[in-house]
Structure 1
Amino acid sequence: MNKIIRKNPSTMPKPVGEYSHVTVIPPNSTLYTFSGQIGTSIEGELPTDHHQQVLNTFKNIELALQSEGLTPENVIKVNIWSVDPIDWERFDQEWVRFFPENPSMTIAYISALGLPEIKIEIEIIAAKPE
């Protein structure tokens, strides 16, 4: 087994979104943990619009993955923290485009992030099979 495997066991309820309940990492894979990414632009500006922060956050995740020679297919776990309600229709469009493999995912609504203007933060864990 030299491939990341994603599963939704038939013995469990179906996921309520586009994610996998179980992700199996092959032996001898290299694991990568990434700090939570926020919606700053490459110029360091943070938009006030929640969805624009989501778009910038996915771009920052893509840049972080590229810096290690990885792609979204290498992502095995995603943790999402949001201080504002997520527009799921718009979010899911970006999610499915960015994560076609449906990694494992957790989302939480929280009262605050590191700075008051940050509306969403997304953290990933990735694996690179041998």
Structure 2
Amino acid sequence: MTNIIRKNPNTMPKPVGEYSHVTVIPPNSTLYTFSGQIGVDFAGNLVDDVHVQVENTFKNIRLALASEGLTAENVIKVNIWSVESIDWDHFYQEWGKLFAIKPSMTIAYVMALGLPEIKIEIEILAAKPA
């Protein structure tokens, strides 16, 4: 679908997660930046359960991509911020529902996010080749 290239050069250590060290965007591509998505549902509810927040966050990412006619294949970078330890089994289960590709990624644990109820926030960048 896209000619975005994702790679892990053999001159670097193997990634410790489901990501690529390098993402190459073809010339003349359109770049999309999306605000960080949180686990709020369509009615505006934000439950305290971090697993539900993760699930809703990925749903919101799918909706944001679809609003621009994009899919997960267009994602070039993922930034993840969490206020508590991530349950990686659950996270990657939800991740796998969206991503077959491995975009570049950064993960950070932070003391707080925009509202005290928010446990995780995920920001994506995407590109649509010409």
TM range (shorter): over 0.9
Q: How much has 1:99 moved relative to structure 2?
A: 1.2
Aligned partner of 1:59 in structure 2 is 59
Give TM-score, length-normalised by structure 2. 0.97
In 2, Cα distance between equivalents of 1:112 and 1:119:
8
The amino acid of 1:9's aligned partner reads P
> Structure 1 residue 97: deviation in Å?
2.5
Distance 1:21 1:12 in 2: 8
Counterpart position of 1:103: 103
Quote the residue 1:121 is aligned against. 121
**How many residues end up aligned between the 2 structures?**
129
Question: Equivalent residue for 2:78?
Answer: 78
Give identity over the alignment, percent: 76
Residue equivalent to 1:27:
27
In the alignment, which residue of structure 1 is the partner of 2:12? 12
Cα separation, 1, equivalents of 2:17 and 2:23: 15
Q: Deviations over 1:81-117 (max 9, x none)?
A: 0001100011111112211111000000000000000
SS in 1 for 2:57: helix
Matched position secondary structure for 1:28: coil
Q: Which runs of 4+ in 1 moved over 6 A?
A: none
Q: Distance in 1 between matches of 2:98 and 2:14?
A: 21
Q: Is the 8 A contact 1:75 1:127 kept in 2?
A: yes
Q: Secondary structure at the match of 1:13?
A: coil
Q: 2:98, 2:69 → 1: CA distance? A: 16
CA RMSD of aligned residues (A): 0.8
**Aligned counterpart, 2:46:** 46
Query: Where in structure 1 are there 5+ consecutive unaligned residues?
Result: none
